[in-house]
Structure 1
Amino acid sequence: MSSAAAVVRVVSRRTVKPAAPRPRESIPLTSWDLSMLSADYIQKGLLFPPPPPCLLVVDHLAAALSTTLNTYYPVAGRFVTHNHPEPEGGCSVSIDCDGQGVQIVHAVADAVTVADLLPPDAHVPPLLHSFFPLGDAVNYDGHHLPLFVVQVTHLVDGVFLAFVYNHALSDGTAFWDFLNAWAEIARASCLAAPTSPPPLFNRWSPSPGDGAPVVLPYADLSELIERLQPPLLCERMLHFSSESLVALKERARQELLAAGDTAGAAALTRFQALSSLLWRCITRARRLPAEQQTMCRAAINNRGRLQPALPREYFGNSIYAISTEKVQASELVERGHGWAAAAVGRAVAAHTDADIRARVAAWEVKPIIYTARYFDPSGVMMGSSPRFDMYGCDFGWGKALAARSGKANKMDGKASLYPGREGGGSIDAEVVLTPHHMAALDDDLELWAAVTPDHTLPLLLNNNKP
């Protein structure tokens, strides 16, 4: 495909507002939200088969989105910074819920097919990034940009929906709840009425003054915002069937039992087995010096770990990145898969209610706005979650063919876990590395022994042919 043929043409843009007016409201951002202000917007997308010719897709989505915003009204707002008077000074940020609106972009990729976006070698084509609007926006830009933008790109034989969403507004749990609520309303004309539980917008923090604005000790918040360009990166999608993950977990379990770690073996999960596999294989692909220290980090949901627990429907950020202990690269490889899986398990188990509250208290003493500078170039970061109901987002013309992402929030050593399309506990891992490291990973025998050929892909492509 020539570069000229790959151009994505924007046909129209429209602002979508809540269908029903409501009183203006201000929702303060918590420490969890504020720490995200310098990070990129969330960029996730779903590739769909072609809708029926009678369906006006953009109008259909816009009408349902307007109705959804009646419930999810903060998504249609904007951020506002409030400067506090002396002697305390500082500033706080809130969501101004005044129905300012979100945006739908309608685009056409005249010569792009579904097969172009799902190549058989599983490398993600850079073309995909051009389907995502607000490509260089950071969450702080929600002061003047919409907090949510969707681009509807018509392909030769399909439709790609690219969702760009402000991460300071909420985490992935709330983001996918919002998308599924929208999808449920969109398909309600031919299926049942929406039944999703309503979101809870009251912000919560474990510090005193529950619901009060978090005041940052800065006169000008914009000076803390960084816009860093990542190096050239390659992306690859790896599929792990449920059977493969069971075998991977069992291999780690047997190694731990052989080493006498019965507690680690009993607590083992598929997530530990998969994340530790990627940690070891990426470390090997980087050819780090033997004494170089490395660790595996993972984004983890705080809701159920707090006591009392935050409700599942809490709409905001409630995540932290947990870390394994640091280990020398040579030791990580030599100790084996079981030890690495148990190390991930210990990090998960240590993330308790007390740990969460201590981290909030430490942040309030010394607030940090996280940027890519905080990423460990020798470590691995696990993001997203196979628990997110990505393939439940049926907007009225069928299940998505694939879930993909844009260029945001990526760096060498980032891995994002998605549910496999066939369900049953299968997982797709999106791995991001520099070209040199990706070439080495392609030759890693331990990795490819666990990866499952995605036999559903050719069938989907064949069924999608006009």
Structure 2
Amino acid sequence: MKSPSVEIISDCFIKPEIITEETNKPTYLSPWDYCMLSVNYIQKGLLYPLPKNQDQFNMTTYLDDLKSSLSTTLTHFHPLAARLATRKLENSPSFVVFINPENSPGARFIHGKVNLTIDDILGPNDVPLIVQSFFDHHKAIDHDGHEMSLLSVQVTELVDGIFIGCSINHMLVDGSSFWHFFNSWSEVFNSKGQNGKFSSFVPISRPPIIERWVPPGSDPILSLPFTHEDEYIDRPNPPLLRERIFHLSSASLSKLKSKVNLECNTTKISTLQSLSAVVWRSITRARGFPADQEVGCRLAINNRGRLSPPLPQNYLGNSIQALRHTTTAGELLDHNVGWVARMLHEGVANHGDKAIREYVDSWVKRPFVYKMNQFFDPKSIQMGSSPRFDMYGNEFGLGKGLAVLSGYANKFDGKVTLYEGRDGGGSMDLEVCLLPENMEAFESDQEFMSIVNGEIDI
């Protein structure tokens, strides 16, 4: 039987409701933004149930409200309605990439429909492949933002639900900025006046800081020393993966944190560091490496509060790095989980203003672009996103979402994405991508599944 596919019902572009002199200015990029030129767009979204009283729900009206509130939100987040542009420097092989609002039709808005139910999406153990069709810009990389919209919203109707998915160019946002935009859009949607309109004059609670950060003393307009796009474009081509979401209760995670800190005779190791240590061990065990094989764990870390002076949390753009920790498979598995968690904790604790500025200064001297086929190596894992982001606070008039799901983007063997748990209270959801043979071993790993099942012994 042929599996259902998403039917595109309508497709349009949305501009900021109010265009100002500031809106029409180009936005120049930071070193952290430039690194993302060959990375996929960020693709995240929420699945909602249709209102129980569907007689009072009109899809056309609902879509109009989403579009209007998006236009109002883009007044604040106007770079998301622009395009990328490249300018060659005179008498130099270098070029500048920047966010250009000129001649852009705006952010894209798609309405789609699929003959599937919520249970079809959330029922299977593995995330169904059809979920990738709930997002626009499938397999696009950030460089494609010269021609493609930098933000694309796709609203997909299911038989009994609605999925709202956002694809945003990773040169414009990291996870913090992605959810900042999503939260602000939800806030605007909920502010609909009695006249049925959304006011651009009502301030949002967290206005974004648009101007990009560059290290003091550097040219505010940074450039890349390449002569042809083949020197930096590297489209990711991951193998066929299995993708599962594991639900971890706050009680189970609290027990894990207590166990790890007890083993280390401290109270400083976080829940996230404790969980990352277990996941690293369990995936390494599932992969069956020899004892002398070097293995790695990358943790995505937010630099905003670690700089001195700190960047505002409302800073719109990338301000992240991936801290890589390495050891051998034998060392990782022979020691207890506390030993591993302490290693991760020390790396995070030592990542401050000095380390950040050294990294950025080295980029300014020798600019580079991440090549994802090299960045994700099959002997490491990468922990991405954060359970601290407000995901389930985005209701859009439909109540609390049922699940956070993601698209094709930036998934490789060993990519682990952390989400806020729907139950709140410190619960988490863990999206794990592995080769099929490794997933089979991982999902029966006793150490990891004891956390999933709440059977941790302290």
Q: TM-score, normalised by structure 2?
A: 0.93
Match among 44, 63, 82 for residue 58 of structure 1:
63
Q: Provide the C-alpha distance between the structure 1 equivalents of 2:193 and 2:289, rounded to a whole number of angstroms.
A: 55
- The amino acid across from 2:134 in the alignment is F
1:219 matched to 2:227? The reply is: yes
**2:100 aligned counterpart, secondary structure:** strand
Deviations 1:203-225 (A, max 9, x none): 11224236x11121123345411
Q: Does 2:111 correspond to 1:106?
A: yes
Tell me, yes or no, if structure 1 residue 72 matches structure 2 residue 71: no
Please say if residues 304 and 312 of structure 2, whose CA atoms lie closer than 8 Å, have aligned partners that are also in contact: yes
Distance 1:125 1:207 in 2: 47
Query: Do 1:91 and 1:217's aligned partners in 2 also have CA atoms closer than 8 Å?
Result: yes
Look up the equivalent residue of 1:354 and give its one-letter code: K
For residues 386 and 444 of structure 2, what CA distance do their matches in structure 1 show?
Answer: 26
Aligned length: 439
Is this contact kept in 1: 2:114–2:158, CA < 8 A?
Answer: yes
| Stretches of structure 1 lacking an aligned partner (at least 5 in a row) | 258-264, 454-466
Please report the RMSD computed on the Cα atoms of aligned residues, expressed in angstroms.
Answer: 1.7
**Structure 1: how far apart are the matches of 2:448 and 2:19?**
53
Preserved CA contact (<8 Å) 1:207 1:360: no
Query: Structure 1 residue 307 and structure 2 residue 315: aligned?
Result: no
Residue 294 of structure 2 aligns with which residue? Answer: 293
1:241 maps to 2:239: no
CA contact (8 A) 1:207 1:357 kept: no
**What is the match of residue 327 of structure 1?**
327
- Whole-angstrom CA distance in 2 between matches of 1:221 and 1:215: 14
Deviation at 1:190, TM superposition (A): 6.9
Aligned partner of 2:145 in structure 1 is 142
Give distance in 1, aligned partners of 2:216 and 2:255: 43
Q: Is the 8 A contact 1:420 1:426 kept in 2?
A: yes
Which one-letter code corresponds to 1:132 in the other structure?
A: F
Counterpart of 1:90? Answer: 94
Structure-2 separation of matches of 1:195 and 1:365? 38
In structure 2, what is the Cα distance between the partners aligned to 1:450 and 1:204? 40
Distance 1:342 1:185, change over 3 A: same
Give CA-to-partner distance per residue, 1:265-321, whole Å, 9 cap, x none. Answer: 232110111111100000000001111011211110000000000011111110000
Structure 2: segments with no counterpart, 5+ residues: none
Q: CA deviation at 1:120?
A: 5.4
Kept in 2: contact 1:27–1:94 (CA 8 A): yes
Is it true that 1:125 corresponds to 2:145 in the alignment?
no
CA distance in 1, matches of 2:409, 2:77: 24
How far apart, CA to CA, are the structure 1 residues paired with 2:146 and 2:165? 21
The residue type equivalent to 1:204 in the other structure is W
Name the structure 1 match of 2:47.
47
> Distance between the aligned counterparts of 1:233 and 1:120, measured in 2?
15
Matches within 5 A, 1:349-368: 349-368=349-368
The answer to whether the 8 Å contact 1:239/1:427 transfers is yes
The letter for the 2-side match of 1:11 is: I
State the match for 2:162 in structure 1. Answer: 159
Distance in 1 between the 2:378 and 2:164 partners?
32
Corresponding position of 2:369: 369
Paired residues of 2:188 and 2:204 also in contact (CA < 8 A): no
Give, in angstroms, the shift of residue 93 of structure 1: 1.0
Distance 2:283 2:193 in 1: 46
Residue number in structure 2 paired with 1:22: 20
Q: Provide, for residues 431-455 of structure 1, a one-character-per-residue CA deviation record: whole Å limited to 9, x for no partner.
A: 11000000111220111110148xx
TM-score, normalisation: structure 1: 0.91
Match of 1:427 in 2: 428
Report the CA distance between 1:134 and its aligned residue: 1.1
> Aligned equivalents of 2:135 and 2:81: distance in 1?
19
